[in-house]
Amino acid sequence: MEAARQKEALVRNLDSVGDGISDWWRVLYFGGNGTTTNASSCATCDPDGDGMNNLTEFLDGTVPTVPDTLSIFVAEPRQYLP
């Protein structure tokens, strides 16, 4: 049971890019496998043009593709990663 919790914590916190954004979050909002970035999914990108970059959106719990969203509850990352 402890091994399963450790694996879940690792998946939840995995940041393959090393920019402070978890892979699962990148998968949720930008698709792919979360291990790479593009012109919309990088930490300093602001795809919705609301003045908040993706790292800020990730840390604040807001939606990076919808301007001026309020903090939301995000589903468990294991639903989006294999």
Residue pLDDT, tens place only, 22-32: 999 999 999 99
- Could you give the CA distance from residue 1 to residue 29 in angstroms, rounded to a whole number? 30
- Contact predicate 31/12, CB 8 Å: no
Q: What is the pLDDT of residues 35-82, one digit of tens each?
A: 999 999 999 999 999 999 999 999 988 999 998 776 555 555 555 555
> Residue 37: how many CA atoms within 13 Å on its side-chain side?
20
DSSP string, 2-18: HHHHHHHHHHHH--SSS
Label residue 3 by pLDDT band (50, 70, 90). Answer: low
Which pTM value belongs to this model?
Answer: 0.73
Residue whose C-alpha is closest to residue 30's, from 43, 41, 22, 19:
41
